[in-house]
Amino acid sequence: MTQLAGKHALVTGGGTGVGAAIARRLAAAGAKITLAGRRREPLEATAAEIPGAAMVQADVTDEAAVREMFEAARAAQGPVDILVANAGAAESVALKNTSLDQWERMLSVNLTGSFLCAREALADMLESDQGRVVFVSSTAGLKGYPYVAAYCAAKHGVVGLTRAMASELAKTGITVNAVCPGFTETPLLADSIAKIVEKTGRSEEDARKSLAASNPQGRFVQPEEVAESVVWLCASGSGSVTGQAISISGGEVT
């Protein structure tokens, strides 16, 4: 498939999970890939699977680091045509026990990091009057979940950022959308299940079933399903789709 041939896609959090699946799928569609993330080893492993992929080790919460990340990506692959802002993290704690540090950490990586990357990507996209920005939000950006108030607030913020940017850029050739997966089979989910087991003493099987039950299909979303939606949003035929927060959740959020 070559519908994205010649396009340069920068994927943050691209070393594992949903980010890695998105990067592989964009590459299969013909895009040039730059993988970005904080940990070098996962980036190297995923880059080895994608011919010609570049990689940049960076922290998306650091303004100067984001600027340097884009400079390195441009030097390696040219101007950025597609940004997939996927880097994120989740911490679970009751609101009454949430510290200001935890609150700010969730907003920093999930929301501020998305803003910094999007702002930097616009330098290239506005010059060419074309581009695709896809934020990886969550069903937590569309509804509330207990014990993850800071994460929900941050992901709701990503959806708001999506809608504001799309409105601001509507008369250009740049579209801005968010994909909002439910519980997805990733290392982040594995960590959540391990914490449930540790805190409750329940079996891993029971913990998995309890989380999967939120999906009306009774299963976890697969990273490749999220990747397919992202590729569609990045293709030329989706030019009239902007400002959307697309639920990928088996009907959990409709």
Name which of 203, 227, 171 is nearest 23 in CA terms.
227
153-189: string of b/e by CB count within 10 Å (b at 16+)?
bbbbbbbebbbebbeebeeeebbbbbbbbbbbbbebb
User: Can you tell me the distance from the alpha carbon of 212 to that of 69, in angstroms, rounded to the nearest whole number?
Assistant: 36
80 and 109 housed in the same domain = yes
| Same-domain status, 109 and 215 | no
Is the domain of 44 the same as that of 152? Answer: yes
Range of 213's domain? 183-220
Question: What pLDDT, in 10s, does the model give residues 141-193?
Answer: 999 999 999 999 999 999 999 999 999 999 999 999 999 999 998 887 888 88
Contacts of 11 (CB under 8 A, 6+ apart): 19, 22, 23, 26, 33, 34, 35, 36, 84, 86
Q: Is residue 163 part of a domain?
A: yes
We report the CATH number of the domain holding residue 134 as 3.40.50.720
- Total domains in the fold of the chain: 2
Q: What is the pLDDT of residues 13-45, one digit of tens each?
A: 999 999 999 999 999 999 999 999 999 999 999
| Same domain for 110 and 37 | yes
At 186 the pLDDT is: 84
Whether residue 254 is contained in a domain is answered as no
Q: Which residues carry out catalysis?
A: 151
Nearest-angstrom CA–CA distance, 146 and 140: 10
User: Is 208 in the same domain as 110?
Assistant: no
- Min mean pLDDT across 97-106, 119-128, 193-202 is at 193-202
For residues 106 and 92, the answer to whether their CB atoms sit within 8 Å is no
The verdict on 207 and 232 lying in the same domain is no
